[in-house]
Amino acid sequence: MLKERDVRPMLTDRHIQQPTLTLRERGVQLTLRDRAEAAFAQGEALLPGPEFHRARVRLNEIRERFRARLRVAVVGRVSAGKSTLVNALLGEERSPTGVTELTFNVTRLRHAEPESLTVHYRDGRPSRQRSPDELWRLVAQARHDPERLAELRAVDWLDLGVPNQRLARFDLVDTPGLDSYFGEESARTLRFLGRTGQDVHTATVEHASRADALVMVFASGLAESEERLLEEVTGAGLRAVEPMTSVGALTKIEYYWPACPDPVAEGRRVADRLMTKSGGRRILFELVPVAGLLATGAAACTERDAADLVELSRISPSLLEARVRRGPYFASRDYADLPVGRERRAALLRRFGGYGTVLACALARDGLTDRAGLREELLRRSGVVRLGQVLTEHFGNRADLVKLDAAVQEMGELPAQPALLSQPGQSGQDAEPWMRWRLEEAADHVTRLRLTEHAFRELALLRRVYDGSVVLTSQELSHVLRITGEYGDSPAARLGLPADSSPSSLVSAALRQQTYWAGVDLDAARGAATAETVRTVRRSYDLLLNRIGPVDNRPGGDG
């Protein structure tokens, strides 16, 4: 068997002295993903033979997670409106709501054509393809059929593939809840399923910790204080809750109405207080108020709904609001002064809620009477459009970097796992020293990306900005977010220019920004933290100019 002194020179000559990859090879510009794939391949090449089988399996698990679509887990307390929020983001009802037997399971939603559903079980049986309708029937019949009940109790998580373009950039993982203790109704359902509140909590933490990013769902009223809402999330045992990988949604703001005439404004006030006085900025990039019921109602709005809302908009606003405030009576009583019958009023109330019904009628009264226009404005007012924009920009535009950051961390942990070097019946502690050294070298090909890739310096800069270590003006912060890829990776997106901008326009804009940041670099009063920020930002513009390439009559100098 080769000893460490025999292997090291051979590996140094073949692998270590050669550069991992350059920005351009033979005129081909490589992406971050290209360079990461090459690093994984070089690491795997150092682990040949059966003695490294387990290590190769683990390396490939990490690589496959990097290759997969970004996974965004939606987490929060039970009844915080997580499934409603998922459906609002999708613009259709896909995640189980109102069926507690299923909402106590994890549901992963991903883009797929045609639609598919795979049920994964806890008892070791193979996963099974089902149709969604068949699954709902299983729930309905389980209480009367012992065989179906046994299958329902064994369900672990659901994998739902849907032809929804909003899932093209990332998968959504709807988790059951962070609670360990439930009210009597939920407790009865859990007993029926043979589970405990701790089972639900453990499944939520397990699946959320596997995700690349988080949407933390807060519902005001589910805790005695806003500070307690944050504590329940930060103390739940989730991995790496930080602004780089976490955004928040303040849900159910429509229920501020009628106590608050403008629940959206009240939602913004509560969100601002959570982010500032309660310390939310330490863990969240942004907290978006969302009226989930309004959003799902708007997405499902029919021509009949729109026509009924237009009819109701013709009566006095004060009369309409007085009737809607009566809740169940609005849906069940006959009113001679209302032009829409009680059955249709009940349907509107179920779909839009009281606030949504009054708001939709106000919009129709102002001239927005067509279904498409009404639906679009209700979605915008619900806050779900803004939340979707944050997910796309903050997570989707940096998907490869976010996943690679997690992969680098996991690869760095490999050498500390002796079991990866063991054979059946052998302890990992018995592995030859050269084997352990080889695993360290294999991991190093991926972990060194943190030192060689400028994107990781940008990531470190963003973390300093989010935790308050760096103080920037609002305009400087906007430029930092843009040049680091918040709004897209193309040169035009990183410069805030139209997508069809000419190369010369891109170069001019980049040089102007470099000149500005060079001036900041000369300002000694800004401090050492700002100086480090400036170095990172200027290097980002250097690399961007390199991507744009040579341009005729390009001005000289780098600012």
pLDDT given at position 558: 41
Domains and CATH numbers, the chain: 4-66+413-452 (no CATH), 70-291+385-395 (3.40.50.300), 296-382 (no CATH), 455-548 (no CATH)
Q: What is the DSSP letter of 31?
A: P
3-state secondary structure of 266: helix
pLDDT given at position 424: 56
pLDDT given at position 283: 87
Contact criterion met (CB below 8 Å) for 447 and 411: yes
Length of the chain (residues) = 559
Which pTM value belongs to this model? 0.83
Cα gap 117→113, rounded to integer Å: 11
pLDDT given at position 9: 33
With a cut of 50, which residues of the chain have pLDDT below it? 1-27, 554, 556-559
3-state secondary structure of 558: coil
Q: On the CB side of 1, how many CA atoms lie within 13 Å of its CA?
A: 9
Give me the helix-helix angle, 433-447 and 399-412, nearest 10°. Answer: 160
pLDDT digits (tens, 9 = 90+) for 406-433: 999 999 999 888 788 766 555 555 667 8
Cα gap 273→229, rounded to integer Å: 12
